[in-house]
Structure 1
Amino acid sequence: MSLHIDTPLLESRSLSLANGQQIWLKMDALQPCGSFKLRGIGLACEHFARQGKRRFVSSSGGNAGIAVAYAGRCLGLPVTVVVPQTTTERARRLIRQENAEVIVHGKLWQEANELALSLVGADDAFIHPFDDPLLWQGHASLVDEVAKAGVKPDAVVVAVGGGGLLSGVGEGLRRNGWSDVPVFAVETRGAASLAAAMDKGELVSIDCVTSVATSLGAKRVCDEAFRISQQMNVISHVVSDVQALDACERFLSDHRVLVEPACGAALALAYAPSEALRRYRRVLVVVCGGVTASIEQIREWRKTAD
């Protein structure tokens, strides 16, 4: 039995009526730890537990750490998560709630990741938040469930941070024979590392992360995500923090589920489709979730967001 659950696939009546399209939602915000991360991270943790590893060490902006902590508790293994200073107090509390140790280090995830790697001993397993084939294999199960439900989308909308979800969706589309389905990869301005790479035609790092969507705060996407952007039909789309935050509030009102701004980025495109997205009738939006921000925090960010 896997640590993640099969999540609902719902047609959004409100979004479908607003856009004149058929909008389907893959509700991974309903995973036990609140985000899609559990699919791949749960698979990786189970893999390393079978190998006899005695502790999980990870770095995270929030949601990956919560997923590792949840998996560790379920498997009876201790967990250490290193988070940057930008990680919200809520996220730190949720990681500790799963009995994991939290270490705060560095201004950005990259600095936290360097410390996490230095802590890994011979009996430990390092669980990367987005750059590991085991993660992509697990995340691909999301597409498997959509295929099992008999709903083939004309296009898929996903949020992109480090690129783990995009890599998993790409693998899922391939293994279900859906490589022809275009993927809209959505980022927030100030965290658009994939858009920068696609614009340059090569992997690049952005100078800094300024978006409130800290879960999208990787300065450089993983190699696999960039490879997919070059080999499959991936359309880059960038939204503002304001659009992402507004989408979070609208989604809460429409569907009674709170997601964080990283997920709000994908939802922002669903609420205001680009001309490119409007060409497709049946659209699947991955509601990747995220539990690191409260509605109060989202509204505070909204007051000062650009």
Structure 2
Amino acid sequence: MTEHLTGIRPVLDDVLAAADRIAPYARRTPVLSTRIDGRPVAFKLEHLQVTGSFKFRGALNVLTADRDVRHVVAASGGNHGLGVAEAARLRGLPARIYVPHGTPEAKIRRIVAAGAQVIRHGERYAEAEAAARAEAAASGAGFLHAYDDPGVIAGQGTVGLEIVEQVPGCDTVAVAVGGSGLAAGVSLVLGPGRTLVAVEPERCNALHAAFAAGEPVEAPADSIAASALGASRVGELPFGILRERRVRSVLVGDEQIASARDRLWEELRLAVEPAAAAPFAAWLAGQVPGEHPCLVLCGANTDWRPA
């Protein structure tokens, strides 16, 4: 939707600019540092963000930077749509959000409550995206991509800025991955002494498949976390960023995700959606290195109940 801010891809300066731009509306979410199974671990509580997801940061950054847009169209599994809806509401803009059938009703209710119109289309995110792009092209609306947009990536990168400031001893950051916008944004601000772990469900593995193929390819999108991580193809722009950085790609199973989500509630009283528990599942399985890791809990937009 926006032009690339400083060339072919966003850079650290864009993330810093995004932090200033979104500061009046977005929350600086807290970090909880604790010990589990005798090991230190920190949780970035991004599920406490406005709209219950980090997605608000990217949408807000784009819609506050682009003053020419008059109405906006987006496609989403739920969280990006909610972020766009709320950012559009703050700007006084009409918004239409295309979601695939099967999107959790909890997310749809919140999108509607934020003032956007919801259009159900297709069974997968890719189908909803195609329909949203077609409407934008026909109507002249701005199409706001969920992850393959430099302004969105820069906005998501502000999560990483806060982690660096809040957990200065952090040596590893683990994030859940769908289209890879959050992972790409966070990677822009991590120095050479920190490792980024990109965690995906085994059956929603677009980034893992892209690393194996050397380019974005179609991948399955079938998981309990698919409403948030169900991109069937990683974004070209975030893949280009991540390919050049120190990234460890790991996979976790749905049972591991559900168990990790329940444990977050039982031990810490943190209620999150399945996607947010994926980094914790990887950490519990020994797939997140480092002595002082920080795990991003990315969202909580679900009718939550234990498994």
**Please, what TM-score do these two structures have when normalized by structure 1?**
0.87
Superimposed CA distance per residue, residues 128-179 of structure 1 (whole angstroms, 9 cap, x where no aligned partner) = 1111000111111112222333614111111100011111111222xxxx13
Superimposed CA distance per residue, residues 47-85 of structure 1 (whole angstroms, 9 cap, x where no aligned partner) = 22x22x221211000000011111112222111000001
**Alignment of structure 1 residues 171-182 onto 2, 5 Å:** 171-173=188-190, 178-182=191-195
Task: Say which SS state the counterpart of residue 40 (structure 1) adopts.
Answer: helix
Q: Is the 8 A contact 1:24 1:284 kept in 2?
A: yes
Look up the match of 2:299. Answer: 289
Question: How far 1:122 sits from its partner (Å)?
Answer: 5.9
| Aligned equivalents of 2:140, 2:230: Cα separation in 1 | 30
| Aligned equivalents of 2:268, 2:85: Cα separation in 1 | 28
Q: Do the aligned partners of residues 102 and 244 (structure 1) sit closer, same or farther apart at CA in structure 2, a change above 3 Å counting? A: same
Question: How far 1:19 sits from its partner (Å)?
Answer: 4.7
Superimposed CA distance per residue, residues 86-136 of structure 1 (whole angstroms, 9 cap, x where no aligned partner) = 211221111111111000000101110011111115652211111100011
| Aligned equivalents of 1:86, 1:166: Cα separation in 2 | 25
Question: How far 1:284 sits from its partner (Å)?
Answer: 1.1
Task: Say which SS state the counterpart of residue 119 (structure 1) adopts.
Answer: helix
Count of aligned pairs: 283
Look up the match of 1:106. Answer: 122
| 1:41 aligned partner, one-letter code | A
More moved, 1-10 vs 126-135: 1-10
**Alignment of structure 1 residues 46-195 onto 2, 5 Å:** 46-48=64-66, 50-51=67-68, 53-120=69-136, 124-149=141-166, 151-173=168-190, 178-195=191-208
- What is the identity percentage for the equivalent residue pairs of Structure 1 and Structure 2? 34
Tell me if 1:232 matches 2:245.
Answer: yes
**Alignment of structure 1 residues 20-39 onto 2, 5 Å:** 20=39, 22-39=40-57
Q: Is the 8 A contact 2:148 2:238 kept in 1?
A: no
| Aligned equivalents of 1:252, 1:56: Cα separation in 2 | 36
CA RMSD of aligned residues (A): 1.7
Question: How far 1:218 sits from its partner (Å)?
Answer: 0.9
| Aligned equivalents of 1:201, 1:150: Cα separation in 2 | 33
| 2:45 aligned partner, one-letter code | M
| Aligned equivalents of 2:36, 2:222: Cα separation in 1 | 34
Look up the match of 2:284. Answer: 271
Question: How far 1:243 sits from its partner (Å)?
Answer: 0.8
Q: Is the 8 A contact 2:187 2:242 kept in 1?
A: no
Q: Is the 8 A contact 2:184 2:242 kept in 1?
A: no
Q: Is the 8 A contact 1:142 1:172 kept in 2?
A: no
1:3 aligned to which of 25, 32, 49: 25
Question: How far 1:227 sits from its partner (Å)?
Answer: 2.4
More moved, 252-261 vs 214-223: 252-261
Tell me if 1:211 matches 2:223.
Answer: yes
Q: Do the aligned partners of residues 219 and 123 (structure 1) sit closer, same or farther apart at CA in structure 2, a change above 3 Å counting? A: closer
1:42 aligned to which of 54, 60, 64: 60
Q: Is the 8 A contact 1:162 1:222 kept in 2?
A: yes
Task: Say which SS state the counterpart of residue 294 (structure 1) adopts.
Answer: coil
| Aligned equivalents of 1:122, 1:171: Cα separation in 2 | 34
Q: Is the 8 A contact 1:2 1:42 kept in 2?
A: no
**Please, what TM-score do these two structures have when normalized by structure 2?**
0.87
| Aligned equivalents of 1:150, 1:84: Cα separation in 2 | 37
Q: Do the aligned partners of residues 117 and 61 (structure 1) sit closer, same or farther apart at CA in structure 2, a change above 3 Å counting? A: same
Q: Do the aligned partners of residues 196 and 19 (structure 1) sit closer, same or farther apart at CA in structure 2, a change above 3 Å counting? A: farther
